[in-house]
Amino acid sequence: MKMHFVERFTQPGEKISLYRNGAFVDFCRGPHVPSTSRVKAFKVLSLAGAYWLGDEKNPQLQRLYGTAFFNKKEMDEHFARLEEAARRDHRVLGKQLDLFSIQEIAGAGLIFWHPKGGIIRKIMEDWMREECIRRGYDLVFTPHVMRHELWKISGHAGYYAQNMYTPMELDDADYQLKPMNCPGHILIYKNTPKSYRDLPVRLAELGNVYRYERSGTMHGLLRVRGFTQDDAHIFCTPEQIEDEVVACIDFAEAVLKTFGFAEFKVELSTWDPKDRKNYAGSDDKWSLAIDSLEHALQRKGIPFRTISGEAAFYGPKIDIKLVDALGRLWQLSTVQFDFNLPARFDLEYVGEDGERHQPVMVHRALFGSVERFFGVLIEHYAGAFPLWLAPMQVGLVPISEKHIDYAKTVQSQLQIAGLRVELDDRNEKMNAKIRDLTMQKIPYLLVMGDKEAAANAVSVRTRGKGDEGSIPLEEFIAKAKKLVEEKSTYL
RNA sequence: GCUGAUGUAGCUCAGUGGUAGAGCACUCCCUUGGUAAGGGAGAGGUCAUGGGUUCAAGCCCCAUCAUCAGCUCCA
């Protein structure tokens, strides 16, 4: 193995390096620790296969993973972080909190949203749809299966075929599940002639797409075979691009802020002009698009990293990576140019000059995938959702059977106020009810006995704070409604 | 897809060739309790699926499916 590198790096004029630890001499770019005595804390982590030179066509080697630190404290902190991440694992929390499941009998990578996950999804989707309408998008719905002919025109049947479910034959035609929503939106755009006065046309859809993922690649909600994109396509004139991109970034910021993510990083992926032949679209279009994206980011005053050669073949893009509660990065939102599809579908609009022009198309997804966003959300909050998102917002704990009637009147008043309530009327001691509901991470538990029933009050136990004493029911309702209204992350 | 591991009750897991187990959850009974687990009884299993070896398989062998840790690829 080392001979491969010796041969590769020992061309005339090339500098090579050798490292020595005691009797062990290694041919390596380095650096190595000067002495193994510097390594005060280390641990073997795992054993796994890895492809020779990272290419799956090459044979696999056994790779032994380990980690080392200058002292025990640093190592302990590292493992504490890993444990914290494991404790927040959305797959584990999804089971404990009964949010979603994946069923072997139904197939890998296909998500079942249970009632408690479903209500969160409904809140996410309602918010997204209303926000789209407020921001000038039109909502559309497109079919889940469409004829193979369409995917040939869009080019997916060619360059995306490995990721698509195979066609199903029906009458005289082959139909295929959609891996993307773009062609559907394009057909709606094309259905009527467009004037420059109609632009920009912004079509949005929470579209279910299906992609074949290789068997070893699925991971909970984060990598699946069927998912929902909060997808939109904006058809506009070249002059409108910059404003549209700024609006998309504003929108993305609003999404992240609303769902509790304070931090994010932005990357601008551009082409590599030296590799010209690998990109569709004219030079003019590329430089206009890259300039627009850059100007938009500068106008927003957002710091970003430009990565050349990372663009899709059909256009440059902005990727927004959010930073979660543990400092991990997640790629979700994306704003992409597409020079390919407007040409393939021969899109046009009539300009001020009375001539036909080709519109520019921007593709954007903010949650990215509703499933993945939900997975990240679960881990970010460790399952302790803010009040407006919590599937069960209030848990009711009658102290004894005598207080169940009062608890029912409290329940109906909370429900009338629009709150999601769980009444624990089991034949259990109060302590057991508090424990069980606490483990469900319910934001508020209301304990009620003789004193509360007499005063039309509730004893409030707030998640993470404990017993906060009795207050009038009306007061609690007003407070809870306000926090929901504000989408507060505090209780 | 590849390498390695795993798959037993709703959940978490024990069981290493000879009658399938525990805790929690569930049902019923007793208990009516003031801020994180009261007590008792009961019910619950094609031991992932399909083959094979054996007098006998949850356990050994093969294949398939799924999951996990990685690799590779992505929203």
Q: Is A424:A437 a contact under the CB 8 Å cutoff?
A: yes
The confidence band for A230, taking pLDDT boundaries of 50, 70 and 90, is very high
Confidence at A310, pLDDT banded by 50, 70, 90 = confident
Share of chain A above pLDDT 70, in %: 85
Res A200 pLDDT > 70: yes
Stretch A291-301: mean pLDDT = 92
| SS3 at position A31 | coil
Quick one: average pLDDT of A264-283?
84
pLDDT above 90 (res A471): yes
Specify the pLDDT at position A85: 78
Residue range A378-403, pLDDT digits in tens: 999 999 999 999 999 999 999 999 99
Q: Give the pLDDT of residue A84.
A: 79
H/E run at residue A91: helix A90-96
> How much is the pLDDT for A456?
96
Our answer to whether residue A122 is catalytic in this structure is no
A101 CA vs B64 C1’ separation (Å):
23
How high is the pLDDT of residue A327? Answer: 76
Higher-scoring residue by pLDDT: A227, A326: A227
Distance A440 CA to B37 C1' (A): 15
User: How many Å does it take to go from CA A376 to C1' B67?
Assistant: 20
pLDDT, mean of residues A164-178? 92
Residue of A88, A225, A285, A317 marked active site? A317
| pLDDT score for A376 | 93
Angle between helices A241-258 and A283-300 (to 10 degrees): 50
Least confident of A58-62, A155-159, A372-376: A58-62
User: Protein footprint on strand B: which nucleotides are under 7 Å from a CB?
Assistant: 1-4, 7, 11-12, 25-27, 29-38, 65-75
| pLDDT confidence band for A195 (50 / 70 / 90) | very high
A317 is catalytic: yes
A408 among known catalytic residues: no
Q: How confident is the model at residue A171 (pLDDT cuts 50, 70, 90)?
A: confident
Nearest nucleotide (CA of A450 to C1'):
B34
Q: What is the DSSP letter of A165?
A: P
Helices (H), A259-362: 283-300, 340-344
pLDDT band at A43 (very low <50, low <70, confident <90, very high): low
Which has the closest alpha carbon to A234: A353, A332, A366, A352?
A366
Determine contact, residues A41/A71, Cβ cutoff 8 Å: yes
Question: What ipTM did this prediction achieve?
Answer: 0.93
Instruction: Answer yes or no: is pLDDT of A20 > 80.
Output: no
A62 is catalytic: no
Q: What is the mean pLDDT of chain A?
A: 88
In this prediction, residues A83-88 reach a mean pLDDT of 81
Of chain A, the percentage scoring pLDDT greater than 90 comes to 68
Read off the pLDDT of each residue in A16-41 and give the average, rounded to a whole number.
Answer: 67
C-alpha pair distances (Å), A439 with each of A52, A89, A188, A203:
46, 16, 48, 42
Give the residue, A206 or A83, on which the prediction is more confident: A206
- DSSP secondary structure letters along A221-259: TTB-SEEEEEEEEEEE-GGGHHHHHHHHHHHHHHHHHHT
Specify the range with the lowest mean pLDDT, choosing from A58-72, A168-182, A197-211, A461-475: A58-72
Specify the pLDDT at position A339.
Answer: 84
Question: Which nucleotide, over all strands, has the C1' atom closest to the CA of A333?
Answer: B75
Report the C-alpha gap between A222 and A334 in whole angstroms. Answer: 16
Residues A11-24 have a mean pLDDT of 66
Q: Judge whether A132 counts as a catalytic residue.
A: no
Q: What is the pLDDT of residue A15?
A: 63
CA A367 to chain CA centroid, nearest Å: 5
Q: Average pLDDT of A421-437?
A: 95
CA distance A155 to A139: 25
Q: State the average pLDDT over residues A446-455.
A: 96
Tokens for A107, please give them.
């197939």
Least confident of A11-25, A45-59, A311-325, A347-361: A45-59
pLDDT at A80: 73
pLDDT tens-place string over residues A56-75: 556 556 566 666 666 777 66
Closest nucleotide to A58: CA versus each C1' = B2
Q: What is the pLDDT of residue A82?
A: 74
pLDDT at A273: 78
